[in-house]
Amino acid sequence: MSVLPAKLPLSRANAVRLLDLLCEDDEFRSHFERDPTGALSAQALQSPSGYPCAPLTALASKSEFQEARMALQNLVTQTGSFYVPHYFEAGSTYVSAPQGIAA
């Protein structure tokens, strides 16, 4: 049985870049909603190899990302991105971080 490598946290710079894109860039947001792994790889925010990102049902709005920006930035720099993909879902950006993760 093969084991995929764990997702690594984003660097602070990559977290800022990801949230800039999610708050402002319609083309990136569309790509991210269809294919989060591909969108992150295309922006050199995550290696294309390894464990893929969980799919989204509905991406949170730009304003939701803007309002929850600092909590999300802290989350993705402390744990692998899409460890908790529901944080990126519409209406879910305000959910508290898992135990042991500062938001």
Q: Identify whether 102 is part of a domain.
A: no
Q: Identify whether 7 is part of a domain.
A: no
Ordered per-residue pLDDT tens for the chain, 103 residues = 455 556 677 888 988 999 999 999 999 999 999 998 899 889 998 776 667 777 888 898 999 888 888 888 877 777 655 544 445 667 665 544 444 333 3
How many distinct structural domains can be found in the chain?
A: 1
Give the domain extent around 80.
12-88
Q: Identify whether 94 is part of a domain.
A: no
Global pTM reads: 0.70
Q: Identify whether 42 is part of a domain.
A: yes
- Quote the CA–CA distance of 59 and 2 in Å, as a whole number: 31
- Quote the CA–CA distance of 26 and 92 in Å, as a whole number: 20
Q: Identify whether 39 is part of a domain.
A: yes
Q: Identify whether 82 is part of a domain.
A: yes
Q: Identify whether 21 is part of a domain.
A: yes
Q: Identify whether 1 is part of a domain.
A: no
